[in-house]
Amino acid sequence: MTPALYVHIPFCAKKCAYCDFESHAGRLSDADAYISRVLDEARTRKGEYGISSVYSLYLGGGTPSLLTDAQLSRLTQGLTQLFPPAPGAEVTLEANPGTLTPSFLKTARRLGFNRLSLGVQARQERLLRMLGRIHRFEDAASAVSMARDAGFQNISCDVMNELPGQTPKDLTETLDAIIALQVSHISCYGLILEEGTPLHARVMQGELALPDEDTASALNLLAARLLEENGYHRYEISNFALPGCESRHNIVYWTGGDYLGLGAAAHSFMRRERFANPGLDEYLSGVSRQDAYLVDEKGALEESILLGTRMTRGISLTDIAVRYGAQTEQALRCKAQELKGLVNVHDGCLSFTQEGFLLHSALVAELVSAVENAVGA
C-alpha cells in the first residue's frame, strides 16, 4: 500500500493565542528523544502495514522549522529510508516565518522537500500581535525569498480570516501582499475560537468581538473573489492554487484515501480504521494508537459527504451509486434539486456553490439526513 504520510512535530517557540493544536513551547530539549520515538513508531507501522513507499510526505506541527539542521536530517533520512516517497511525490515542510534560516531551507531541499507551507496569517501588525504570532509580515516576505533562493518553487501561505477586528480592507491588504509574493498556493482559514485558549478568554470577557455572520460571509466571499481574480482557483473550501499546484497530500484527506500519521496526537486512517496517538508526554513514554475504530458503511458515506463536499469538484454520484446503491444516489440528487443555488449537480458530481460553502455544515446535515430518510437508517 502507498498511503500519504504525516509526521507531527509538537514544538513551538511560543504558544499562539488561538492555538489548541498539540504543540508545546519550551520543550525543544525533548526533540532528539522525540525523533527517536517517531522513527521507532515508523518501523512498527511499516511492519504492520507492509508499506513499501508513500504517496506524499508532510512534516507539520507545531513548528518543524524549529528543529536543527541535524535533527531535520536524522528524522527525514530515517523516514525516507523506511518509507521512500513515490517518484514525483509531494514532500512538504511546514514552517513558521519567524524561525527560518537559509541553511535550514537548503538542508530541507537537499533532503527532498519540494513544497514549503508558511503560516503567514495576516499583514497587519496589530492582528499578528492579537494572534500571538512571533513574526511580522516582513519575515514572511523574506522567508519566501529565502525559500526561492534555496530552490523551493512550490510555496504555500496560510492566511486567517474572520478575526476579531479584521476589516475587509485588512483582508484585502493581506491577500494582495501575499499575491504579490507570487506563491503557488494560498490557504485561507476562518478562525475557530477554541475553548481554553487566551483568545477565547478575551472574546468571552468582551474585550474582543468576533465578526458577525454577515461580516464573516462577506470576508469569505471577498477572499474567494480576490484570489480567483488573481488566478488562484478554489479547489477546496479554504484552499486556492495556481493550476497544478493543489496540495496532493491534503486531497488524500478529503477524498477518503489512506494516510498514516506519526508522532504525538497524529491521526491515521488506514484500511478503513481511524486511530490517533496520545499527546507528547504519553507518546514519549511509548504509548500510541488509541481510540481505534473501523468506519462502517454508514460512517463512510457520511464522511464522503462531509469531506468530499469541501472540494469544489464535489462527490461523484456515480461512485455513490456503485458503492451505496441507487436509492442513496437518488436521495442526494433530490435534495440537491431542493437546495438549488447552494448545491449543484453537474457532470455527475454533487458540489456546493460559493454561497453553499458559507453554509457547509448545515448543508452536509441536510444531505446526510436525506440519505438516512431514504434508506431508513
Residues that bind ligand SF4 (CB under 6 A): 12, 15-16, 19, 21, 23, 61-63, 96, 119
Q: Which is nearer to ligand SF4, 63 or 166 (CB)?
A: 63
Cβ-contact 109, 151 below 8 angstroms: yes
Q: How many Å apart are CA 69 and CA 65, to the nearest integer?
A: 9
Q: Which is nearer to ligand SF4, 19 or 307 (CB)?
A: 19
- All three cell numbers of 210, joined, read 468576533
Q: How many Å apart are CA 241 and CA 233, to the nearest integer?
A: 5
Q: In this structure, what DSSP letter does residue 97 have?
A: G
- Specify the residue for cell string 461523484: 316
Shortest Å, Cβ 19 to ligand SF4: 3
Compute the C-alpha angle 29/33/35, nearest 5°: 105
Q: Which is nearer to ligand SF4, 178 or 270 (CB)?
A: 178
Shortest Å, Cβ 328 to ligand SF4: 39
Q: Which is nearer to ligand SF4, 276 or 295 (CB)?
A: 276
Q: Which is nearer to ligand SF4, 15 or 323 (CB)?
A: 15
Q: How many Å apart are CA 161 and CA 134, to the nearest integer?
A: 18
Within 10 A of 35 (CB to CB), how many other CB atoms are there? 22
> Which residues, in sequence order, are bridge partners of residue 119?
158
Q: How many Å apart are CA 153 and CA 150, to the nearest integer?
A: 9
Cβ-contact 42, 82 below 8 angstroms: yes
Helix H or strand E segment including 6: strand 4-9
Residues 6+ apart with CB under 8 A from 145: none
Give me the numbers of helices (H) and strands (E) for the chain, helices first please.
15, 17
Shortest Å, Cβ 159 to ligand SF4: 13
Q: Which is nearer to ligand SF4, 143 or 320 (CB)?
A: 143
Shortest Å, Cβ 336 to ligand SF4: 36
Shortest Å, Cβ 53 to ligand SF4: 29
Closest CA to 355 of 369, 344, 370: 344
Q: How many Å apart are CA 80 and CA 82, to the nearest integer?
A: 5
Cβ-contact 278, 288 below 8 angstroms: yes
Q: Which is nearer to ligand SF4, 24 or 272 (CB)?
A: 24
Shortest Å, Cβ 346 to ligand SF4: 37
Q: Which is nearer to ligand SF4, 134 or 345 (CB)?
A: 134
Shortest Å, Cβ 184 to ligand SF4: 21
- All three cell numbers of 331, joined, read 436521495
Shortest Å, Cβ 21 to ligand SF4: 4
